Chain A
C-alpha cells in the first residue's frame, strides 16, 4: 500500500512500538494513538478501529471517500465549517493500521465522528514511475536527434555571431520537441461562451504540430476545462443584462489608472461589495489577477523579511516574492509539521550571517491549489501564525465562491474569522465569470496598498462591464437579489464535486486533493497518456485540460477537470462513462486504495 500516511511518522511509530510492545493479540493489529496534549499512547479502543471504520464504510456509502481518503500528512479536524472539538485529533499526522498482515490506511477517528482527513495524495506505482521516465528520455533523445538532423522550421536571428543565446536553450528545446508533439491538446480556440458547454474550433496540423490550419468545422463539447465554478459565465441572464446596462452608463473602459481618472462609482461599489462579501473592513480591486499577486507582494515585503511559502504556490505568488527581494523559504505542500519547523528555525536563527531578527515573517498559502486540488489547512496555519506572530497571506483565487456553505471561500468552509487572515487575496476570474483580482483586509492595509501598489498606480482600472458582472454575481451569491439562486449554485457545485470525485475514486484512477475541492486532477503520469486522454475525450465531445511538465513535476502528468455548478448529473454521468472506458483501454487505473463497491448516489437537492 502506498499511502502518504506511511512516509512520515516513522518516529511516532517507533515510539509507539516501544511504549506498547505487544498489542498483537488476535489479528496482529498494531494501532497506536498519540495524544498531542500529553504525548502518551492510548491503545485498546483504537485496536478495533480499523474494523469499525470498515463497518462504517460498508453501512454508509456516502462516507466512503471520507473513510478511505487517507492523507496521514496531516489531519483536518474541521468539517463543514465547524471544529468537531476532539482534542485527540488536533494533529494526528500518523494514520497507521496493520490488519491481517496487510497495511490498510484507515483514519483513526471513530467512524461516527467526522473523519480527520479528506485529502488524498496517493503515491505513484514504481512501474509507472520507471516507464514515465523512460518515455521522457526517449522523447528527449529522439528530440535531439530530430533537431540535429532537421533544422527546426522557426525564425532565426541573423548577424548574432559572438552573442550568447538570448533564449533559454532547454526550454526552447522542450517546447519544440516535447510539447509541440501534443500541442493540439492545448490552446484550443473556442467560439462560444465557456459555460457548461463550449464550442471548439476544429483545426488540423500537417507538420506534426508546428503549424495548424482551421478546417472551418466547429464542435460542441462538454466543458470541463474552465474555472467556471458557479456557472456565471453566461451570455444571458441577470449578469449579462446588468453588464450591458453598465456599458451604457459608464462606457466600455476608462483607459486610465485608479490614481488618475480610472476610478468611477462602479469601482467603489465593487470594492464595497467585495469587502461585504468577504466580511472584512475594506478591499481594493485590480484589473488583472496575476498582477494582484505579482505587484502587491513587493509592497508588503522588502529585503530582510522572511516569506514561508507553500511549495505548490502559483507562479504569480512566486514572481511577487522574487520581485520583493525578501528571503523565501519553502515548506512541503500542506505539511503543517514542516511549516512549524521552518517557522521555528527562522524565529530562532534570525537572518543569515547577522542573526538579526527578521523584519517580518509572512506565510503565503493558497486556498485551493489549482494543480493539486487540495485545500489549505487553514485552522492549523492560523494557529501557527498566531503562535509565532507571523502574517498570513492567503490566495483565494480558486476557492472564493467555490468553497464553503455560503460560497465565501475557504474561510467560510472552515468557519474561520476573516480577521484572522491578514491579507486576503483572490481573483474574479474564476467563480464570478469575470476578470481581475482583489486584496481585502483591514482598512489600514487597503489604504496602504492604494497608495503604494504599482498595480494601482500604473495599471488601467477594470472595465465597467467587467466590474458589473462581479457585482451582480456577488449579489446573487449573497442572496441580495431576493432569490436563492446563488445558494442553489453553491450547493450544486458541492454535490457535483462530491459525486464526481467519488465516482472517479471508485473507478480506481488516482485523483489528488481534497474531497470538496472542485478542481479534480486525474493522474495519468506519462506524456503520451496526457495527449491520448485529451484527444480521446475531445473525440467524445468532452473538453478537458491536460497538465504536464513544467507546470507539474516531470513525472506527474495529469488531466485536470474543473467542475461547475452549471453541469448536470446527466452530463457528469456521460463524462464518467467515457472516462471509465478510457481508463480501461489506456490503463489509468493505478490506484491501490480499496474501492467502494456499492452504487454512489447523487445527493439530494435539499440535503
Chain B
C-alpha cells in the first residue's frame, strides 16, 4: 500500500515536472518556478481558509432565504386558493 502511494506520488511529481517543463530548466530557474507555484498555492489555500467558510455560509444563507421564501409563497398561494 505504502509502495503504491509512493509510486503514485512519484508519478504525479513527474507529471508536474513535465507540464511545467521543469526537467528542462536550470536549478535556479526550477527554484523560481517552484517558489512561484508554492506561493500561488499557499496564497490560494490561505485565502480559502480565511475567507471561504464565511463566504460559503453567506452564500448558503442567501440561497436558503430564496428557497424558503419561494416555498412560503407557494404555501401562501395554496392557502389563498
Contact = CB atoms under 8 A, between A and B. Distances in A.
Interface string B3-37: 00000000100110111111111100100110000
Contacts of B22: 528
B30 to A, nearest CB: 9
B10 to A, nearest CB: 9
Contact of B24 (A134, A145, A181, A587): A181
Nearest to B11: A585
B23 A528 contact: yes
Contacts of B29: 142, 145-146
Nearest to B23: A528
A138 B16 CA distance: 13
A208 B14 CA distance: 20
Given A585-B14, A586-B14, A526 B21 contact: yes
Contacts of B19: 131, 134-135, 526, 528
A134 B16 CA distance: 12
Interface residues of A, number: 20
B25 A526 contact: no
A146 B26 contact: yes
A172 to B, nearest CB: 18
Interface string A175-198: 000000110000000000000000
Nearest to B26: A208
Indicate the member of A528, A531, A587 with the most B CB atoms within 10 Å.
A528
Contacts of A499: none
A138 B33 CA distance: 9
B49 to A, nearest CB: 26
Given A138-B33, A142-B32, A585-B11, A528 B26 contact: no
A145 B32 contact: yes
Contacts of A498: none
Contacts of B20: 134-135, 138, 528
B19 to A, nearest CB: 5
Contacts of A586: 14, 18
A139 interface: yes
Chain A contact residues: helix, strand, loop or mixed: helix
Contact of A527 (B14, B21, B32): B21
Nearest to B27: A208
A297 B29 CA distance: 47
A529 B24 CA distance: 10
Given A142-B29, A142-B33, A146-B26, A528 B11 contact: no
Nearest to B18: A528
A529 B18 contact: yes
Interface string A516-537: 0000000000111101100000
Contacts of A145: 29, 32
Contacts of A587: 15, 18
Contact of B17 (A139, A146, A527, A528): A528
A146 B14 CA distance: 24
Contacts of B33: 138, 142
B3 to A, nearest CB: 16
A532 B16 CA distance: 13
B26 A531 contact: no
Nearest to A146: B29
Nearest to A531: B24
Interface in A127-155: 131, 134-135, 138-139, 142, 145-146
A253 to B, nearest CB: 43
A527 B22 CA distance: 11
A56 B12 CA distance: 40
Contacts of A531: 23-24
B32 A182 contact: no
A528 B24 contact: yes
B21 A139 contact: yes
Contacts of B14: 585-586
Contacts of A585: 11, 14
A131 B17 CA distance: 12
A531 B11 CA distance: 17
A528 B14 CA distance: 11
Nearest to B14: A585
Contacts of B15: 587
B24 A139 contact: yes
Nearest to A143: B29
Interface in A108-138: 131, 134-135, 138
A181 B30 CA distance: 13
A527 B24 contact: yes
Interface in A383-424: none
A421 B32 CA distance: 58
A285 to B, nearest CB: 43
Contacts of A131: 19
Nearest to B22: A528
Contacts of A208: 26
A182 B17 CA distance: 15
A81 B35 CA distance: 60
A118 to B, nearest CB: 32
Interface string A574-587: 00000000000111
A135 B17 CA distance: 10
Contacts of A529: 18
Nearest to A132: B19
Contacts of A139: 21, 24
Indicate the member of A139, A142, A586 with the most B CB atoms within 10 Å.
A142
A135 B18 CA distance: 8
Interface string B59-76: 000000000000000000
Indicate the member of A138, A145, A526, A585 with the most B CB atoms within 10 Å.
A138
5 contacts: A138-B20, A142-B25, A526-B21, A528-B21, A531-B24
Given A138-B33, A528-B23, A587-B15, 17 more contacts: A134-B19, A135-B18, A135-B19, A135-B21, A139-B24, A142-B29, A142-B32, A142-B33, A145-B29, A181-B24, A181-B25, A527-B24, A528-B21, A528-B22, A529-B18, A586-B14, A586-B18
**Which 8 pairs show the lowest CB-CB distances between chains A and B?**
A181-B24, A528-B21, A135-B21, A131-B19, A528-B18, A142-B29, A208-B26, A139-B21
